[in-house]
Amino acid sequence: MSAPILRSVAALREATDPWIRAGERIGVVPTMGALHDGHLSLVAAAEKVCDRVIVTIFVNPRQFGNAEDLDSYPRTEAEDARKLSRFAVDGLFVPDVCEMYPEGFATTVSVAGLTEVMDGVHRPGHFEGVATVVAKLFNQTSATDAFFGEKDFQQLQVVRRMARDLNLPVTVHGCPTIREIDGLAMSSRNLLLSDRARTRAPVLFEAMETIAEGVAAGGDFDALHAEALKRLDAAGFTKVDYLEMRAADDLTLLSAPIRPARLFAAAWLAGVRLIDNIAVGG
Ligand code: PAF
């Protein structure tokens, strides 16, 4: 059954008021649409633990660095609604930009530390945009629980930090990355890859796996890193923004997995920026 599409905060509140009065557990799955199986796994996780599930679709201009990237972001609302119809979604919140950022909007949520590395450096202002919109979505939906993919691991840690620091009464759940059969992490941006680029894209995950396995077996990070860069270059990746090992909790840079660690990468292939991350040593 199709979930009602709610386009205003007023309509959303009308839907959630009775659920809140009944003390129900409300799960939110924030998305920018172009839904794939990764998003649907978050909806399935929300369904399991919550009485009510709200999926939000909002291509948030405040987290994009340039207008071109924002304009080319895929928008597939009708198809998204169809994909969600097999889940028990209670509301699909699809506000427009004026609803989210009305005239005079002047507030930004900024998280220090975790946002000063990786995508925080390569996409200035990105995490302020994310934290601001996610704080708003938490408040608008009155969510008790929120579901985010580990695919955007830095984002997940930033949202967790924000929820903790601002005492937001929301439990943030991180859900595993869902991959295509060839290993490529599912992402709405994969739709932007040409057929040729799509066949080469899994090399990012393969190169990361080689480093993670090598390091976990005691190998030298720098040597493995240099080999991975060569492999990416040979596969047609034009630029690697970062390929780094960091502590899973506070994202401190590591050269050996002396604490629970993850490998993080962002790299460009045929004009599309792909990001991925994997655990080191399981
Ligand atoms: O991960 C995303 O799709 C977005 O960053 C989010 C969390 C929906 C905020 O716009």
The 3-class secondary structure across 247-270, one letter per residue, is ECCCCCECCCCCCCEEEEEEEEEC
Q: What is the DSSP letter of 282?
A: -
Q: Name which residue sits closest to atom 1 of ligand 1, judged by CA.
A: 31
pLDDT in single tens digits along all 282 residues of the chain: 789 999 999 999 999 999 999 999 999 999 999 999 999 999 999 999 999 999 999 999 999 998 878 998 999 999 999 999 999 999 999 999 999 999 999 999 999 999 999 999 999 999 999 999 999 999 999 999 999 999 999 999 999 999 999 999 999 999 999 999 999 999 999 999 999 999 999 999 999 999 999 999 999 999 999 999 999 999 999 999 999 999 999 999 999 999 999 999 999 999 999 999 999 987
State the pLDDT at residue 67. Answer: 82
Task: From the CA of 59, give the closest atom in ligand 1.
Answer: 10
Atom number in ligand 1 closest to CA 31: 8
| Pocket of ligand 1 contains residue 131 by CB under 6 Å | no
Dihedral angle over CA of 202, 194, 71, 174, nearest 10: -20
Domain with CATH 3.30.1300.10 in the chain: 188-280
Residues of the chain with CATH 3.40.50.620: 5-175
Q: Name residue, tokens 């839907």.
A: 15
How far is it, in rounded angstroms, from Cα 197 to Cα 207? 16
The closest-lying atom of ligand 1 relative to the alpha carbon of residue 137 is: 9
> 136 to each of 101, 130, 185, 261, how far by Cα in Å?
10, 10, 28, 31
Could you tell me the distance, in angstroms and rounded to a whole number, from the CA of residue 132 to the centre of ligand 1? 11
Give this prediction's pTM.
Answer: 0.97
* Angle, vertex CA 169, rays to CA 41 and CA 83, nearest 5: 20
Residue 31: CB within 6 Å of ligand 1? yes
29: DSSP letter:
E
Q: Whose CA is nearest to atom 8 of ligand 1?
A: 31
Which ligand 1 atom sits closest to the C-alpha of 159?
A: 7
pLDDT at 31: 98
* Residues designated catalytic: 39
From 127, 130, 141, 178, the mutation candidate for ligand 1 (largest count of ligand atoms within 8 A of CB) is 130
Spacing, Cα 165 to ligand 1 middle (Å) = 19
CB 209 within 8 A of CB 227: no
In b/e form, how buried is each residue of 208-236, taking b as 16+ CB within 10 angstroms?
beebbebbeeeeebeebbeebeeebeebe
> Is 275 close to ligand 1, i.e. is its CB under 6 Å away?
no
Partners of residue 253 on adjacent β-strands: 246
Q: Please tell me the CATH superfamily of domain 5-175, with its number.
A: HUPs (3.40.50.620)
Cα–Cα dist 180/263, whole Å:
19
Q: How far is the CA of 58 from the centre of ligand 1 (A)?
A: 8
- The correct CATH number of 188-280 out of 3.30.1300.10, 2.160.10.10, 3.90.850.10, 3.40.190.10 is 3.30.1300.10
